[in-house]
Amino acid sequence: MRATEFLLATEKETPADAVVVSHQLMMRSGMIRKLAAGLYTWMPLGLRTLRKVEAIVREEMNRAGAQEVLMPAVQPAELWEETGRWFQYGGELLRVKDRHNRDFCIGPTHEEVITDLARNNISSYKQLPLNLYQIQTKFRDETRPRFGVMRSREFIMKDAYSFHSTEESLEETYNRMHTAYSNVFTRLGLDFRPVWADTGSIGGAKSHEFHVLASSGEDDIAFSSESDYAANVELAEALAPAGERPAATAALETVSTPDVTSIDDVAAFLKTDAANVLKAIVVRGEHTTEKAEGEPAPVVLFIRGDHELNEIKAEKIEGVASPLQFASDAEIEAIGGVTGFVGPQGLSAKVYVDRAAAHMADFVCGANSKDAHLTGFNWERDCALPEVADLRNVVAGDPSPCGKGTLEIKRGIEVGHIFQLGTKYSAAMNATVLDENGKARTMIMGCYGIGISRVVAAAIEQNHDDNGIVWPDAIAPFTVGIVPMGYQKSEAVTKATDELYEELKAAGFDVYLDDRDKKTSPGVKFADMELIGIPHRVVVSDRSLEAGNVEYAARRDGEKHPIAIGDIISHLK
């Protein structure tokens, strides 16, 4: 591609709403443009990378035996009524009416549609197992779309759904998808971890998420230092007894405590009353307003047990100007009587109100040395508590966990999620096959998602420097960039450049030739090429050509090397 023919839309200024580096760089490099909140156009540059991610995912899905389909984005409400999700899904589901006043939604996910497809087209156990996938646009009316395409409202997902006649068959496909996902993220050049996860509104029994590790991630991932164990801290919420979670969310919302903004402030508060130390643990909080990157994560206090919340009065806390606000007694009672909390100003508390979650937080924070002094957590003693042991079993999915090592918490970006759904959808929608005895049996299902567009942002979070994006070769929009010095002026440079451009293309490279004239200075060309992250740069100049060379530099280290012009292709391979 020649720069003079390409819609390059690089920008110097960073848009004010872009707080994470991938969003900033995607805007500045001109990969995407915003249409409205959570809605983005993929520009030619960005689309090249998106398509490469798609291609890798498609290859690995095909290799794992899945077959591609393409389902409509618009889905009839009737199917969602059959599973009950029309009533449960809430505001994320964008509901629309057609001209006949019939209800539809713009699909946030496709379990209903695929289950309908399966019940109408699969009749015998002999047709199973079957794994169908698509790469398609989803819409979720996210409460807070943010971070560009990382959490947008419209986004591209690869979603796959498998159908089985036995649990063993589901397990086999699930494991195969686990492997396929690991292959995908390895090929994408990402530092990732599969973790045990909550099944959320999709439902089902067993589930793993794939997280790209990055400080801007929205999830906390707990790792063991001495085993492969890793889990999403969010999983703790899922262990709350049914019915408690919605009440908790409704009862407890944002509280404001202007001067408590760091973990040290909380520690100071706890130390004002020794009794508080043992009764409180610290779990994570969540921003309600966009904050500058690098700001310490807010904290939430969780005060357990039969503690008399009324006893904790603002006066006890030195230096806090306005009173802490706690949930009222009635609110506490409504959620099972276990919690009170504080959260820093402008930040809302994500509150865990059940015992399982409290233990999970103990489990997590207790092993996190920074917070351990707040919890009074003792690994040997507290892990022997039956609830904690049970919880750990559930979390680790292993009936004989060692309990050794320490847990580390890192931030992760959820890029993939696999679920064993069981019969949740097939039973509700009566999707059956005839078994070997001619008896109708409900199909068993799995489902498997990858956030294709989110992956692009996540890759940038892990691959950038002060000058811009540093693409891994596999998903770079262009793999080689040529900057000729004196193109169309020096005959030798023009000839060598044109030949090199054609040869590189013929050899299968995606080449970007910056053929802009001298009104665009070499400095600007280099800066653009660094910003858009082309992994390999070749500079053609009269001076290097005199020695039979071109100048090569890799984006990652920027070091310049002379390379004989005839050797450049083999050098790049």
Q: Which residues of the chain form contacts with Mg ion (CB under 5 A)?
A: 414, 417
Kindly list the distances between the CA atom of residue 460 and the CA atoms of 301, 468, 520, in Å, as whole numbers in the listed order.
34, 9, 27
For the bound state, the minimum distance from the C-beta of residue 343 to ligand ATP, rounded and expressed in Å, comes to 21
Residue 503: CB atoms within 10 Å = 15
- Least CB distance from residue 326 to Mg ion, whole Å? 29
Helix axes 44-63, 167-187, angle to 10 degrees: 140
350 contributes a contact to ligand ATP by CB under 6 A: no
Please give the residue whose beta carbon sits closest to ligand ATP in the complex. 451
The type of residue at 21 is V
Q: Which does 157 bind (CB under 5 to 8 A by kind): Mg ion, ligand ATP, none?
A: ligand ATP
Q: How far is the CB of 264 from ligand ATP (least distance, A)?
A: 30
In whole angstroms, how close is the CB of 155 to ligand ATP at the nearest point?
A: 4
Coil vs helix vs strand at 118: helix
Say which entry of ligand ATP, Mg ion, none residue 549 contacts (CB below 5 to 8 A, set by partner kind). Answer: none
Nearer to ligand ATP, 147 or 341 (CB): 147
For the segment 446-465, give every residue that binds ligand ATP (CB under 6 A).
449, 451, 453-454
Alpha helices in 280-324 (DSSP H): none
Shortest Cβ distance from residue 489 to ligand ATP (Å)? 46
CA 70 to each of CA 110, 404, 426, 435, 519: distance values in angstroms, whole numbers, following the listed order: 11, 47, 20, 28, 47
Secondary structure element (H or E) that encloses residue 555, with its range: none
List alpha helices for 33-164, DSSP H: 44-63, 77-83, 85-88, 111-121
Residue from 44, 189, 194, 200 touching ligand ATP (CB under 6 A): that is: 200
| Distance of closest approach, residue 22 Cβ to ligand ATP, in angstroms | 12
Query: Which residues, including other chains, have CB under 8 Å from residue 437's CB and lie 6 or more apart?
Result: none
User: How do strand 206-213 and strand 219-224 relate by DSSP bridges?
Assistant: unpaired
- C-beta of 84 vs 566, nearer to ligand ATP: 84
CB of 218 to ligand ATP, least distance (A): 6
Distance of closest approach, residue 506 Cβ to Mg ion, in angstroms: 43
Beta-bridge mates of residue 223: 230, 408
d(CA 174, CA 368): 32
Burial class of residue 36 (count of CB atoms within 10 Å of its CB; 0-12, 13-18, 19+)? exposed
Q: Choose one: 72-80, 222-230, 344-352, 445-453; the region binding ligand ATP (CB under 6 A).
A: 445-453
Asked if 503 is part of the footprint of ligand ATP (rule: CB under 6 A), the reply reads no
| Closest separation in Å from C-beta 363 to ligand ATP | 21
Which of the choices ligand ATP, Mg ion, none does residue 155 contact, using the CB cut-off of 5 to 8 A by kind? ligand ATP
Question: Is 190 an interacting residue with respect to ligand ATP (CB under 6 A)?
Answer: no
CA 406 to chain centre: 25
Mutual orientation of helices 386-396 and 355-366 as an angle, nearest 10°?
80
Mask of contacts with ligand ATP, 112-151, x by CB under 6 A? ----------------------------x-x--------x
What distances in angstroms separate CA 91 from CA 79, 147, 185, one per listed residue?
Answer: 18, 20, 31
Residue 208 contacts which entry, ligand ATP, Mg ion, none (Cβ below 5-8 A, type-dependent): none
Q: Which of 409, 415, 500, 534 binds ligand ATP (CB under 6 A)?
A: 415
Q: Which residues bind ligand ATP (CB under 6 A)?
A: 109, 140, 142, 151-152, 155, 157, 200, 202, 414-417, 449, 451, 453-454
